[in-house]
Structure 1
């Protein structure tokens, strides 16, 4: 068994999207995180930072996964879905050929804290039918260790003799998504051999192997078959595992295709009202 080392640390940067929503963002549309494209963190106790939300807008060529730590989000789309997710819940959207949706924030006593992850679709699925699913916290299984736990949103996760399968089991790029929580002096060992493995620390400092990963930074791990997570003072993180598509990426705003011509077609389809079929 070989521990997977941290090869690279990527710091999130402040950005803005939707109707003035302030976010922390990590993105790489050059294939460096393949099959993942972007991770946005929404976190504030100031309503002015997010209250405008994300009015109706289109997507094509990706999957999005929205996960709420506290607060909530209300979703509507052109397919007729209308639902609300709260703390511990997630929404998955396979945008395929096209979807037009909105997401509006809800708060609790701590404000809002949520994430949205973009996963690239392979070329064969970029014009497939759009689908949508809510996943509730009660559906997500847990792995437990000494002063630590892992909540599986999707994909397969192993720790020693424990194995769990998250409810989202058809994510693009064989993606697996999990939320790790470590108490002070907590430790968790995971068996994870996916070619792409990313760890985003969003509370406290998480030590991955021998490398500290401070809050707001994402670690890209190298080859191996085990991951050791520890924290002296407690930490929380998102874990993202997957298999690269190794295909060309063409990106413009909410559209991610394989060529510039396909992007121009997406823009044309949106303008003439045929993006969603």
Structure 2
């Protein structure tokens, strides 16, 4: 006898909050540095057709102890860092940084006729990796495979994704912290996307339209944290777009100060001393 897969239900809905970062860039932010989204820490949505909301961008600043993943819906961002990387990502592209011991970088916005719409995700590094070597990678839209549903599709940025028919794809980013996986789901009106996933952490952030997950409405600007199970079913009456995030918790202490995420407060103090002494990236 085949045992039916348990469909995952919404445990919690979190509303994104208006904030500012960089040189006055207006964003919608969801964060949890208490481990509630482990291995994820923060999700920022940059979306505006008003240049004054984002034109200042993110001038040079440091990071330690995390990975960042930036994904552009439309517009673009130009990245530069102390390692000598310089590149521009545009609609459908992504950039990934493993900050490790330390990286100093900037991200400056570009616009198209719709303005700018992009996301930045922070993933926590395990303690053993927090002082590792910093690395960087661009991923172009053409590198990202697509998985189908019923009037729906999924673009895999990283990790492995499988639908209910047993078809699967793996995104080009294979080294996301906490066995992380990230995807962009699109559903037409009346669409359905059914996925097989046993990941301990599973999150769905709706940024266009609205979804239903096991009977729970998830409107635009909400992050759904899913309970345990083996199957995720997304449906939409009106059509929707969402980011899907899955991973395995580190289960380690989290100490956070600004752009630094370590395990202990003393490590944050050391990061500040290193940055002020000019030895941050040594």
Q: TM-score range by the shorter chain?
A: over 0.9
**1:163, CA displacement in angstroms?**
0.5
Alignment correspondent of 2:94: 90
1:133 aligns to what SS in structure 2?
Answer: strand
1:62 aligned residue (66, 72, 75): 66
Structure 1 segment 231-270 matched on structure 2, within 5 A: 231-270=236-275
List alignment gaps of at least 5 residues for structure 2.
Answer: none
Instruction: String of CA shifts for 1:27-68, please: whole Å, max 9, x gaps.
Output: 000000000000000000000000000000000000000000
1:184 aligns to what SS in structure 2?
Answer: strand
> What CA distance in whole angstroms lies between the structure 1 residues aligned with 2:44 and 2:6?
31
Structure 1 segment 48-197 matched on structure 2, within 5 A: 48-159=52-163, 160-197=165-202
Alignment correspondent of 1:30: 34
Q: CA RMSD in A?
A: 0.4
Query: What's the TM-score, normalizing by structure 2?
Result: 0.98
> What CA distance in whole angstroms lies between the structure 2 residues aligned with 1:149 and 1:12?
24
2:271 aligns to what SS in structure 1?
Answer: helix
Alignment correspondent of 1:218: 223
List alignment gaps of at least 5 residues for structure 1.
Answer: none
> What CA distance in whole angstroms lies between the structure 1 residues aligned with 2:205 and 2:251?
22
> What CA distance in whole angstroms lies between the structure 2 residues aligned with 1:118 and 1:206?
24
> What CA distance in whole angstroms lies between the structure 1 residues aligned with 2:16 and 2:137?
28
Runs of 4+ in 1 over 3 A off after TM superposition: none
Instruction: String of CA shifts for 1:133-191, please: whole Å, max 9, x gaps.
Output: 00000000000112100000000000022100000011110000000000000001000
Query: What's the TM-score, normalizing by structure 1?
Result: 1.00
> What CA distance in whole angstroms lies between the structure 2 residues aligned with 1:274 and 1:156?
37
1:118 aligns to what SS in structure 2?
Answer: strand
Aligned residues: 277
1:161 aligns to what SS in structure 2?
Answer: coil
Instruction: String of CA shifts for 1:92-145, please: whole Å, max 9, x gaps.
Output: 000000000000000000000000000000000000000000000000000011
> What CA distance in whole angstroms lies between the structure 2 residues aligned with 1:189 and 1:209?
11
